[in-house]
Amino acid sequence: MTAIMNHLSITPRRQSAATCVVPQSHQKLLADVSIVIPVAPEEEAWRSLVGDLLANGVDAELLLVGAYAEPMELRKLRAAAGPTRRIRWMAAPAGRAHQMNYGAKLSIRQFLWFLHADSRVSGNALSALERSLDAHSQALHYFDLAYQDDGPTLARLNAVGVRFRSRFLGLPFGDQGLCLSRRTFEHVGGFDETATYGEDHLLVWAARRHRVPLHCVGAIITTSARKYRTNGWFTTTLLHGWRTWRQAAPEFFRSLWTRCP
């Protein structure tokens, strides 16, 4: 594990409830999971996310999908992780929907867990996912969300809004770590590659039309708040709200239409 940490340039953290190693019993089920991580050009946050996953001993298939050649750093990481770790890099057409569909198509495990590259996960979150998949195998699973300390303090208000939107309106987004069975993913049609944004939002609407239950894992994953710092909290919040409403309105009426006799 020291070699892995050195390759990732991650300082090992103290063992705590938030970073505990996943028990062996949990590893058995997570071995049925393929984790698909789309990587944008010049994105480096995946290094920390991969470090979280490996440090917690999860035996999931790990697929990083980018629109460019495999970075040398990942090759070194794979060698350090050992032959029992299934870590793959895939080159796919640019665009998050294209990349996630491509990774899902070439994955081999029963469940598909889509994580953004700037997400961070704890041992508690991984354990909660194991329990959630075991109890609700046919559902679309999602996490509660918290923002990292790389953005404005007001981003905490957005985290409250995310919880309301997902738990009460039934609209979790991709940065909440959507996870579902391969069969369900294929049944609802995967990610819409024609969408210019909100492919995760549209996947949730497709799941709702197909009567797929939504289930909150009951744990938190974190994501970067840098977009609020770079583009401004008010502007980013307003833009996301507008785009969500613009996509949700026609999807809402479409769902009503499909439920009519």
**How do the domains of the chain map onto residue ranges?**
2-259
Mean pLDDT value of segment 252-259? 77
**Using CA atoms, how far apart are residues 110 and 118, in angstroms rounded to an integer?**
24
Quick one: pLDDT at residue 80?
A: 77
pLDDT band at 261 (very low <50, low <70, confident <90, very high): low
Q: Which residue has the tokens 């709200």?
A: 241
Q: What's the residue count for the chain? A: 261
pLDDT surpasses 60 at 7: no
Helix (H, G, I), strand (E, B) or coil at 195: coil
Quick one: pLDDT at residue 82?
A: 73
pLDDT surpasses 50 at 22: no
pLDDT surpasses 70 at 5: no
pLDDT digits 0-9 by tens, 147-194: 999 999 999 999 999 999 999 999 999 999 999 999 999 999 999 999
Q: Given its phi and psi angles, is residue 230 left (phi above 0), alpha (psi -120 to 50 degrees) or beta?
A: alpha
pLDDT digits 0-9 by tens, 41-82: 888 899 999 989 988 888 899 999 998 888 888 888 877 777
pLDDT band at 84 (very low <50, low <70, confident <90, very high): low
Superfamily assignment of 2-259 in CATH? Spore Coat Polysaccharide Biosynthesis Protein SpsA; Chain A (3.90.550.10)
Quick one: pLDDT at residue 30?
A: 81
Q: Where are the alpha helices (DSSP H) in 56-95?
A: 72-81
Quick one: pLDDT at residue 20?
A: 44
Q: Which residue would you say has higher pLDDT here, 252 or 225?
A: 225
Q: Is the dihedral of CA 175, 44, 110, 200 positive or negative?
A: positive
Q: Which residue has the tokens 């307003």?
A: 238
* DSSP tag of 175: G
Mean pLDDT value of segment 241-251? 92
Mean pLDDT value of segment 72-97? 84
